[in-house]
Amino acid sequence: MRRQLCTGASYVVAVGMHLCGALSPRLIDLAVAGGMIDAMALCPCCLKGAHGKAVARSAAERSVEPYAVLVETLQAICEREIEAAAAGGGARSRVGVWTDREMLSPKNRYITVQKWAADKAAPDVALCQACA
């Protein structure tokens, strides 16, 4: 996809709310590698498929909550994708993980990615601020 598809948009954000299984890693791929997306906000959901089984196994081995391991895993995928994009001359990015304690669901964590041109300084303000 090209930026022309978003004519008139000055900033394009991909939002994924409660994405199940392989949809979360897919959104990360699109957001980090995609030239038309400037930022991403992802709230992952349940564990499905091979990825979910691997996360559940890791959580059981570490005696921690599976959702926490899922968020850690998706954050690591973001960081790996950002590193690969930067090595290829792509946009610079930063990743953040936020917890919304006001959300009634226990699936209350957000992973954000903010991108900017390789020849520009990082924005002064992060895309999201942690909820108090």
pLDDT tens, position by position, 60-69: 999 999 999 9
N-terminal to C-terminal alpha carbon distance within the chain: 37
Residue 109, beta-bridge partner list: 99
Residue whose tokens read 């590193």: 83
Does this model's pTM top 0.85? My answer is no
Residue scoring higher pLDDT (78 or 123): 78
Contact 82, 74 (CB under 8 A): no
Indicate if the pLDDT at residue 84 is higher than 80.
yes
Cβ-count burial of 6 within 10 angstroms (0-12 exposed, 13-18 middle, 19+ buried)? Answer: middle
Alpha-carbon torsion (39, 44, 50, 53), positive or negative? positive
